[in-house]
């Protein structure tokens, strides 16, 4: 099984905001992540349509979840998955406090998201895969692919091998391996974004049929 202590630190990654009354979820963080992560730009590049259903895989406490929820609007939904019940409770408590009603938390297993087949328009996984044991990465990716609707998109954001930030130096995954992982799950590399200095940002597409 995955190390739940480490996985609870997942910084949020796969996909899924709304009234003016909501507080700004993009408030500056004291750890400087907002600067190098560029979360608003990342979410904008997902091109989420109003009313979309998005999965935030390994959402943790919701670093991306609340931004994604804002992007899909009140008619959309974010499925925030994680293997840490504690992290999901913190996320759900914040959503309730801030009156964010388009987030659904989903307690997952190491290789099963618990999402329904063909149920999400897009999924995002950010700074999560390098924590997943190598033998569990493909089953997890296949499960995400299963949850995508035909023609849906899967976004992977993870460390560059030469990232200047000194985190997870021994666990980083080469870009070629990430591409192969998605290919083995039946997904096709559709686009790559190059502006994140510490991370690769890849978009994969599930075949339309």
Residue 74, in any domain of the structure: yes
How sure is the predictor about 14, in pLDDT bands with cuts at 50, 70 and 90? very low
Q: What is the pLDDT of residue 158?
A: 98
**What is the DSSP-derived secondary structure letter of residue 83?**
S
The number of distinct structural domains making up the chain is: 1
In a domain? residue 24 = no
Residue, of 39 and 8, whose pLDDT is higher: 39
Beta strands in the chain (DSSP E): 53-57, 77-82, 103-107, 120-126, 148-159, 188-193, 199-205
Domain membership flag for residue 23: no
CB atoms within 10 A of CB 82: 28
pTM: 0.85
Start-to-end Cα distance in the chain: 33
Angstrom distance (rounded) from CA 113 to CA 141: 10
* pLDDT of 31: 63
Query: Which residues lie across from 176 on neighbouring strands?
Result: none
pLDDT at position 91: 98
Give the CATH number of the domain where residue 174 resides.
3.40.50.150
Residues 144 and 155 sit within 8 Å (Cβ to Cβ):
no
Give dist(CA 72, CA 65) in Å, integer.
Answer: 11
52-104: per-residue pLDDT in tens? 999 999 999 999 999 999 999 999 999 999 999 999 999 999 999 999 999 99
Question: Which one, of 198, 199, 119, 185, lies nearest residue 156 by Cα?
Answer: 199
Instruction: Examine residue 136 and state whether it is found in any structural domain, yes or no.
Output: yes
Angle between helices 134-147 and 175-184 (to 10 degrees): 50
Which structural domain, as residue segments, surrounds residue 148?
4-18+30-205
Q: What is the pLDDT of residues 116-171, one digit of tens each?
A: 999 999 999 999 999 999 999 999 999 999 999 999 999 999 999 999 998 999 99
Q: What is the DSSP string of 101-115?
A: -SEEEEE--SS---P
Collapsing DSSP states into helix, strand and coil, what is residue 148?
Answer: strand
- Whether residue 25 lies inside any domain: the answer is no
Stretch 178-186: mean pLDDT, rounded? 98
126 vs 10, more confident = 126
């Amino acid at each position: 099984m995955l190390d739940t202590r480490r996985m609870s630190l997942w910084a949020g990654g796969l996909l899924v905001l709304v009234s003016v009354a909501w507080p700004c979820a993009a408030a500056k963080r004291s750890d400087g992540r907002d600067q190098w992560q560029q979360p608003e730009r990342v979410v904008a590049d997902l091109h989420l349509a109003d009313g979309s259903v998005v999965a935030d895989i390994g959402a943790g406490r919701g670093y991306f979840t609340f931004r994604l929820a804002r992007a899909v609007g009140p008619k959309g939904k974010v499925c925030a998955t994680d293997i840490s019940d504690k992290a999901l409770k913190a996320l759900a408590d914040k959503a309730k406090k801030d009156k964010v009603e388009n987030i659904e938390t989903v307690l997952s297993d190491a290789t099963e998201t618990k999402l329904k087949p063909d149920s999400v328009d897009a999924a995002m996984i950010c700074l999560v895969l390098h924590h997943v044991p190598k033998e569990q990465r493909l089953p997890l990716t296949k499960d995400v692919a299963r949850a995508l609707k035909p023609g849906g998109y899967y976004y992977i954001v993870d460390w560059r091998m030469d990232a200047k930030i000194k985190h997870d130096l021994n666990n980083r995954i080469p870009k070629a391996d990430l591409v192969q992982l998605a290919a083995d799950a039946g997904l096709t590399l559709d686009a790559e974004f190059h502006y994140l200095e510490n991370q690769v940002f890849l978009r994969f597409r599930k075949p339309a049929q």
